[in-house]
Amino acid sequence: MKFGILGSGSWGTAIAKILTDNNNTIWWWNRSDAAIAQFKIKKHNPQYLTAARFDTNMLHLTTNVEEVITQSDVIIIAIPSAYTREVLLSLPKNIFEGKKIISAIKGILPEENELLNDFLLKNFNVKIQDYFALLGPCHAEEVAAQKLSYLTFTGVDEEATAQIATFFKTDYLNTVTNKDIYGVQYAAVLKNIYAVAAGIAHGLDYGDNFLSVLIANSADEMAGFLRKAGIINAEVGYMEHGKNRSAGKHANYAASVYLGDLLVTCYSLFSRNRTFGNMIGKGYSVKNAQLEMSMVAEGYNAAKCMYIINQKVKSNMPIAETVFNILWNGMDAKTGFEKIEEVLI
């Protein structure tokens, strides 16, 4: 199985490290010829995760997207969601025929507020059976440092999902599988919004006691949305027995890909969404906070996308809605959080 990666940011670089550590030669797309030249000289990505060293003999680095896709059986898309549509729509409509697609996007495509699998079906006729999602909790920085982490692979084809997961298991990375395509992706989108909220709270000088209550309520709000959207795994306290993890044991809401990813994204100093929110809480404008950061905070666009999506789902989401109003409608952060204080339990 030959892998190609679209995207050379921190998460794409972490995924490349995992695959090459397992002795897989990969095709890897980068926008910049200059960055590729530096990569070959320095043996690391010159822009992201510079501590992660590579055997460049295992890398086919190119600025040609079509070449990566043509040469690969499995395409991992790790482009920030805001730019994914622009990159993919430049490709031939049949480019993904016979390929398996793994989404490593922790966001939602903002132009039409849709998940990547829906976009690929509509524009490239990629069937859901050939689509998989790769999710955390797994910060790229800890992968580079080889700290034990867990990745969840999701797909409706359970056998193919399990096979793909085997290529990523290392002594510092465990893999989990499930088949909840929509649930894990929506959870990944929502946890970024709640991480922005956690960052805003920190920037406003709330303490740990408040933050724990905020995150607990965020978890409940997330579960409420998933239930109303028809997701089956939004329950806690039930775990199917008799299957091992690699065989796809039933994943309830307390599993790593749902609650675990929410917790680490809200608490970790590596979290770009938390960092972005912290700047907003300290008084930065949205534009200035974005300029200050060298990486994309997915929670910004996600806040608007999920607000629009929830107009149909109609789940009660006061925390996510307040984040949307702060980021998109100019609501004062302190005023917004005074409103949030009134609804926390």
Which residues partner with 62 through β-bridges? 29
The rounded distance, in Å, linking the Cα atoms of 262 and 255 is 11
Q: Provide the 8-state DSSP code for 129.
A: G
Average pLDDT rounded to a whole number, residues 238-254: 54
Average pLDDT rounded to a whole number, residues 46-51: 89
Residue-level pLDDT at 248: 45
Whether 99 contacts 69, CB under 8 Å: yes
Please, which residues have CB within 8 angstroms of residue 140's CB and are 6 or more apart in sequence?
10, 11, 13, 14, 48, 49, 270
Q: How is domain 183-341 classified at the CATH fold level? A: N-(1-d-carboxylethyl)-l-norvaline Dehydrogenase; domain 2 (1.10.1040)
What pLDDT, in 10s, does the model give residues 316-337? Answer: 999 999 999 999 999 999 999 9
Please, which residues have CB within 8 angstroms of residue 156's CB and are 6 or more apart in sequence?
128, 129, 179, 181
The rounded distance, in Å, linking the Cα atoms of 191 and 55 is 34
Average pLDDT rounded to a whole number, residues 36-44: 93
Per-residue confidence band for 247, with pLDDT thresholds at 50, 70 and 90: very low
Please, which residues have CB within 8 angstroms of residue 289's CB and are 6 or more apart in sequence?
276, 279, 280, 297
Domain spans of the chain? Answer: 3-179, 183-341
Whether 55 contacts 20, CB under 8 Å: yes
Which segments of 241-283 does DSSP mark as H helices, in order?
A: 261-267, 272-281
On the question of pLDDT at 7 being above 70, the answer is: yes
Task: Decide whether 3-179 matches 183-341 in CATH topology.
Answer: no
The rounded distance, in Å, linking the Cα atoms of 195 and 275 is 9
What pLDDT, in 10s, does the model give residues 108-117? Answer: 998 889 999 9
Residue-level pLDDT at 256: 83
Q: How is domain 3-179 classified at the CATH fold level? A: Rossmann fold (3.40.50)
DSSP per residue over 277-291, as a string?
HHHHHTT--HHHHHH
**What number of other Cβ atoms are within 10 A of residue 330's Cβ?**
9
Q: Which residue is it, tokens 């579960």?
A: 223
Burial class (CB in 10 A: 0-12, 13-18, 19+), 58: middle
Compute the mean pLDDT over every residue in the chain, rounded to the nearest whole number. Answer: 91
Residue-level pLDDT at 251: 62
